[in-house]
Amino acid sequence: MLNLEIVSPEQVDKAVTIFHQDGFVAVRDVLTPEQLEFGQAGAKRVVKEQMDATPLEKANRGYARYSFGQQVHHPEWSQLIDLPTVLPILDKIWGSQDYVCTGAGGDYSTPGAKIQALHSDMGDFFKDPLGKVTFRDVPAPFIVVNFLMTEFKVINGGTRFIRGTQRSRQPIPSLGEEPEWMKNCHVCAPVGTALIRDVRTWHGGTPNDSDEIRIMISSGYTAPWFQLSRVRPELPKKLFNQLSERGRQMCSEFKIRES
């Protein structure tokens, strides 16, 4: 288990320092009790819908391990876009407010899920013919904020993170090559904690040996200088109008639909 320091939303400078050092930072109390309860209810609803449609052996991230996919069209996820407890940290990381939201999703693992190989959530977007520059050589291009809807523990499959690997040019080890200390780098944190992470940081799921579903939902953002090539998320106009002025600006790449 990682020796994890969890900071408060007011500790912006400290959060940014840890983020740049480790590739991720844990922040407590980013959601109000009402927002947390709302998010938990929505996550449980979608988990049931997805699991009713897709059995464990056909889960999209391996046995008993699911990705939510794009869920920003649900209010439980759109509420995450412009949180005043999170945005100041992102502002400081990028030194700008000109980044955009890419949507919202997350993942969950159910009892019986096995360990997942370490991976990065982004591939190299540079094609340097001299082989000197890679995507590891630039500041964070893409940040995901994971919101823990259940307490993360070793027994229920808390995600493992390998500190400082967001800039590493070393090959990511396979499960067979991975040293035991990496397999034990579980992030354990209370429900409601936000994990603000550079998606290049090595991470992976761990076995869920509990009797509960381990759930986290998320929002994603790209740096002001980086454009992620992907399908544009859709957001109902009603939810778009509920965002702050800044939240609407950050969703400028979305398709806004009438219903």
79 pLDDT above the threshold of 70 = yes
Q: Output the pLDDT for position 139.
A: 96
- For residue 241, the SS3 value is helix
What is the pLDDT averaged over residues 79-97?
Answer: 98
Indicate whether 181 pLDDT > 70. Answer: yes
pLDDT bracket for residue 234 (50, 70, 90): very high
DSSP 175: T
Q: Which residue has the tokens 């965002």?
A: 243
* pLDDT above 70: residue 157: yes
Distance CA 111, CA 65 (A): 9
Cα dist from 206 to 5, 24, 130, 203, 237, whole Å: 20, 18, 38, 10, 38
Q: With 80 as the cut, is the pLDDT of residue 83 above it?
A: yes
Domains and CATH numbers, the chain: 6-257 (2.60.120.620)
> Cα(75)–Cα(83) distance, rounded to whole angstroms?
13
The answer to whether 211 touches 147, Cβ cutoff 8 Å, is no
In the predicted model, what is the mean pLDDT of residues 173-195? 98
- What is the mean predicted confidence (pLDDT) over 98-110? 97
Whole-number average pLDDT of the chain? 96
Across 148-167, average pLDDT: 98
Q: Average the pLDDT over each of 4-8, 111-115, 127-131 and give the range with the smallest value.
A: 127-131
The backbone region for 6, taken as left when phi is positive above 0, alpha when psi lies in -120 to 50, beta otherwise, is beta
Instruction: Please determine, for residue 229, whether its predicted confidence score (pLDDT) is greater than 70.
Output: no
Distance in angstroms (rounded) separating the CA atoms of residues 21 and 163: 8
pLDDT tens digits along 42-75: 999 999 999 999 999 999 999 999 999 999 999 9
Q: What pLDDT band is residue 237 in, cutting at 50, 70 and 90? A: very high
Coil, strand or helix at 100: strand
Mean pLDDT of 108-130: 96
pLDDT score at 232: 87
pTM of the model: 0.96
| Stretch 107-135: mean pLDDT | 96
Phi, psi of 50 (to 5 degrees): -70, -40
Closest to 31 in 3D by CA, of 143, 221, 192: 192
